Amino acid sequence: MSQVHILAMPFPGQGHISPMLNLVKHLISRSTSVVVTIVNIDSIHRKLHAATQTSPSPSPSFDQLRFVSIPFHWSIPHGFDAYCMQNMVSFMEAAESMNVELEKLLRELHPSSNFCCLISDYFLPWTQRVADKFGIPRVALWCGCAAWSSLEFHIQDMVSRNHVPVLELDQASFLVDYIPGLPPLHPADIPTYLHTASERWIQMIVERAPLIRQAAWVLVDSFSELEPQVFEAMQQRLGHKFVSVGPLSLLHSSSSTIALRPADEQCLEWLDGQAPASVVYISFGSNAVLSVDQFEELAEALEAMKQPFLWVIRPELVTAARPDVLPRLDESDVEQRKAAFLERTRNFGFVTAWSPQLKVLSHAAVGCFVTHCGWNSIQESIASGVPMVGWPWAAEQNLNCKLMAEDWKLGLRFRQVTDTDTDTTAAVNAAKRGGVIKSVQIQKIIREIVEDHEVAAELRAKAKQMKDVARAAVANGGSSFQNLSRFCEELAATSF
């Protein structure tokens, strides 16, 4: 059987690397003739290489998975972070300069490797030009919900109506009700990277949107049953190459996940000792940061509630990596505050630097997930049947939060913090104004899920229902499974 060789390039962030790895590992698992070469920037390549070498039970499919690197002058071993987020134009311009290095790599590997396609993240749009130059079909991987992809696709419509950028959120009263397949969006539901954005940043977004039409396939890490209207609307515009393939996190067991941070499995032992559905799990993902005051308010809320909790506190969650850009708390002060907090809550709380999240969410003791609403976290919570409290920080997380809480009814979000916040997400406004969500507000919304039997029962029933739907989508014969099968058949035929 002839070899099917795929070149894959994820966006350099944990939330994008994980879906890409899950996708290519699935493709490898379907055929021994499939070989995948993954291209990462050098700082991430070193991290992933070390992770594969130290993994206690590496997947046998790793023999078909090869890692190569290209140089990048931003050193981000833990992936895209808060500093990158604060400097998006500079970061994306630097990322586009990698086209020279990718072309150099392709000249070294191609045509001897005879790549059948390049699978690259949507947020590396310049890879389309590189693929075209070498006559290789590009497959775009969208690591977010389909609704977000539609919003990006229709960005020119939003710009022409002066709905983007959202310059004065407090005074904005328009509705985005013209994007096919999407529910009406308030200004606060528009992704935060489109708020008070520079002219250059908006230009970059407008320029990348049409490139999606040139992709041979667009693989979306979502499932059609969650967003049927959006998939239908996008397929009317892009054809049946726009397909659901998720949740990609369900394609492989969490034990084989490769992360840029070592996960602490001790938290699972602690969970074993907790009552069913009693634990509040808190994680703000891989790049969100909290102000000192916000950290204290959340800590105060958890301490006052005395509800069992598992809190992921990355070393830089409060201490920002770049003190000239983001608020910084002295590291020794952080440790002192954390140690005091841990001592006061040691009878009912557990803090870890990083968790094996899918295992945590799948644990019977977890009853609620306080999340920054990154798409991986949303889908992992759905796949585990755990209700959520949405606390978005940046990017499209506020859109995810709105969909999760109001349209899909899978959790709650902070609302009506002040008289002017009736149509907005309090967490988004607090972040934009430099304010905080108060302890009493945090306690109120968490208690609605863990103590209010009527609300909790309704949310758990809906979460359980969607869990079954998500798992059926990737099971044999499911919607995502069938789309992946069709894609694999075309790969084998190498006739894009």
Q: Is 38 exposed, middle or buried (0-12, 13-18, 19+ CB in 10 A)?
A: buried
**164 inside domain:** no
- Are 460 and 483 in a shared domain? no
**157 inside domain:** no
pLDDT at 435: 65
pLDDT at 91: 92
- Are 221 and 349 in a shared domain? no
Please state the length of the chain. 496
pLDDT tens-place string over residues 354-374? 999 999 999 999 999 999 999
- Are 333 and 452 in a shared domain? yes
For the entire predicted model, the pTM comes to 0.90
- Please answer whether residues 172 and 190 qualify as being in contact, where contact means their C-beta atoms are separated by less than 8 angstroms: no
pLDDT at 332: 62
pLDDT at 230: 97
The type of residue at 186 is H
Give the rounded distance of the alpha carbon of 364 from its chain centre.
23
Domain that holds residue 96: 4-152+198-254+476-493
- Please answer whether residues 387 and 460 qualify as being in contact, where contact means their C-beta atoms are separated by less than 8 angstroms: yes
CA atoms lying within 13 Å on the CB side of residue 176: 31
- Report the distance separating Cα 152 and Cα 348, nearest Å: 43
CA 277 to each of CA 361, 362, 455: distance values in angstroms, whole numbers, following the listed order:
10, 11, 14
- Are 63 and 207 in a shared domain? yes
**348 inside domain:** yes
- Report the distance separating Cα 309 and Cα 350, nearest Å: 6
**309 inside domain:** yes
- Are 213 and 265 in a shared domain? no
- Are 407 and 339 in a shared domain? yes
pLDDT tens-place string over residues 51-96? 665 554 444 445 788 899 999 999 888 888 888 888 999 999 999 9
Identify the CATH number of the domain in which residue 77 sits: 3.40.50.2000
pLDDT at 292: 83
70: β partners: 41
- Are 106 and 8 in a shared domain? yes
Torsion angle (degrees, nearest 10) of CA 235, 241, 242, 244: 120
pLDDT tens-place string over residues 254-289? 445 667 888 889 999 999 999 999 999 999 998 888
Domain count, the chain: 2
pLDDT at 96: 93
**331 inside domain:** yes
- Are 377 and 398 in a shared domain? yes
- Are 141 and 275 in a shared domain? no
**143 inside domain:** yes
Enumerate residue ranges in the chain where pLDDT < 50.
56-61, 254-255, 320-329, 416-424, 428, 431-434
**192 inside domain:** no
Can you state the angle between helices 14-30 and 479-493, rounded to 10 degrees? 70
**435 inside domain:** yes
- Are 442 and 483 in a shared domain? no
